[in-house]
Amino acid sequence: MKPGQKPPPRKQTRPWHWATAAFFGLLLAQLLFSSQSGQTIPYNEFLQHLRDGRVAEVVLTDTSIQGKYTAPDAAGRSTFVTARIDPAFAAELDRYHVRFSASPGSGWLGALLSWIAPILLWVGIWWFMMRGSAQQGAGGLLAIGKSRVKLYVESDTGVTFDDVAGVDEAKEELREVVAFLKDPVSYGRLGAHMPKGVLLVGPPGTGKTLLAKAVAGEAGVPFFSISGSEFVEMFVGVGAARVRDLFEQARDHAPCIIFIDELDALGSARGLSMLGGHDEKEQTLDQLLAEMDGFDTRSGVVILAATNRPEILDPALLRAGRFDRHVLVDRPDRTGRAQILRVHLRAAKTAKDVDPDKIAGLTPGFTGADLANLVNEAALHATRRNADAVTMDDFTAGVERIVAGLEQHGRLMNPRERLTVARHEMGHALVALTLPGADPVHKVSIIPHGMGSLGYTMQRPTEDRFILSRGELADRLAVLLGGRAAELVCGGDLSTGAADDLAKATDMARAMVLRYGMSDKIGHVVYDDQTRPYLDRLNEPNIAQTREHSEATAALIDSEVRLILQVAFDKAKGILEQRRAVLEAGADLLVDRETLEEADLDRLVKHTEPEGIPAAVAAA
């Protein structure tokens, strides 16, 4: 037993156990007694024995006659029992020579058992069902007001800060929580105290839950884990009761950590429900606010919570004295991704060519969960080909599987469609190879992937970028429109293959006008809706927006978006017209080989074009 840990409660026998045992003991005694009371005979047979003088003595009760024979019968029995019947009625039946008999009855215990036994049976079934559902975590009616927390001790979490990588800033913020939990008296010697609540904010999959478990593992204290949605039920008052029960358990196990995952399911802003103040979720939130105000930080209870939607949380949760410290757990940069990969690669058998830094360069924007999935996909790919170790090619295949989807070798295209897709993908690749603001091309393929992709062009950024200039965004727009431009340059007709490219390009161009003020006619004004999600990214689909400008401004915005897209398309088309020889040769090679690597593209350009042409085209 660890220091400070309470001994398990001694298992005691409940009183109803003794009552049940006594009841069944009485029942058994009655059965044994009745079995020894003699043979049950019909009443008219008793009368015949009485006439023949074979009855020695009798004992009369309200319902039966028990007696002894003067001598044992042929079977060696010396006692008998029969039912007691009205003598007048018995004489009438005997006159007509009717054989009659009756049950002697089971006594008072049998009568009592006849109506108590069904009740006990149904009570037992109900108790067994409720006990089973409670043990399985469903709770049932017996535990409807109990909190459904999962309690871990230090050995159960199995996570420390050594198992968390890529979020160094967040780890440093939480080290203070660990120091306070280990020695709250010394930590507060200067009058400081820990915040009552620490809110972990970040996109899904960045490791917020893992960080909370690591804090508990480092501090060696109990860890209560529960999801925000588990507080709310259809019954009014259940959520508030579970909040009270949670904090009562936490106080009994202090020092400890309470971790509420998906806090937005419980703590969304009040007043938005159609039920008003009687909404069960609002009552649960009110109880949580009251509990956070009611406990002392010196008791050693620290509340951690995680959410990826902080913009919808109730302001009362975020004020000082509640969740007053916010820790950002963002997507890792390239260095952080390499650190995360090294942690996950401990359990994988890798070849010598596997380089976490190179894999990190292939995975911009990946979260910790994405990288864990990538290592698993690479290991599965190596297993399918019966390899002895996971190689770099397996990780490349894993990235393709996650980004582009599963290869669809069964989706057959006719030669004309294959050539169209090859020209389209080579258009993307050539424009990206030409423009300085575009990311380098890593791979081009016309193998169908996923549900609708007929090919893809994979680009590998050389570094993480946090700020993009207008020129760099314009180059990215040209790369997106390079596939559509290649279809026209090669003399073909417009196809539906550019639908996804057009949607992404339109969103990017509209963001340049509405959000970034990159239009000369519109000026440095933001017309985008300001209620976007806090963790929204540039390339994610836009949410519904409320327009707060005039019709004339809306028409000007549409005109500027079209102009930006047309300029980008003309740039891509001009590049491909000047490099048409490489475009045609690359499309033919892609049709033949289906996949071209970065080295293949370099050899293709050097073999087809003289030196100096790509640079001149880019400058133009």
Contact 405, 451 (CB under 8 A): yes
Residue 170, token pair as written in the block = 């967040």
The single-letter DSSP state of residue 236 is: T
One-letter identity of residue 11: K
Number of H helices, E strands in the chain: 24, 13
Whole-number Cα distances in Å, 200 to 59, 100, 260, 340: 85, 86, 10, 19
Residues carrying an active site annotation:
425
Cis bond before residue 610 (omega within 30° of 0): no
Cα(577)–Cα(447) distance, rounded to whole angstroms? Answer: 26
Cα(570)–Cα(235) distance, rounded to whole angstroms? Answer: 62
């109506």: which residue's tokens? Answer: 115
CA neighbor of 511 nearest in space, from 531, 493, 537: 537
Residue 300, token pair as written in the block = 């050693």
CA neighbor of 597 nearest in space, from 362, 418, 337: 362
CA neighbor of 236 nearest in space, from 275, 202, 204, 271: 275
Cα(541)–Cα(543) distance, rounded to whole angstroms? Answer: 6
């009592």: which residue's tokens? Answer: 112
The single-letter DSSP state of residue 541 is: P
Which residues, including other chains, have CB under 8 Å from residue 208's CB and lie 6 or more apart?
A: 200, 202, 261, 306, 329
Contact 499, 480 (CB under 8 A): no
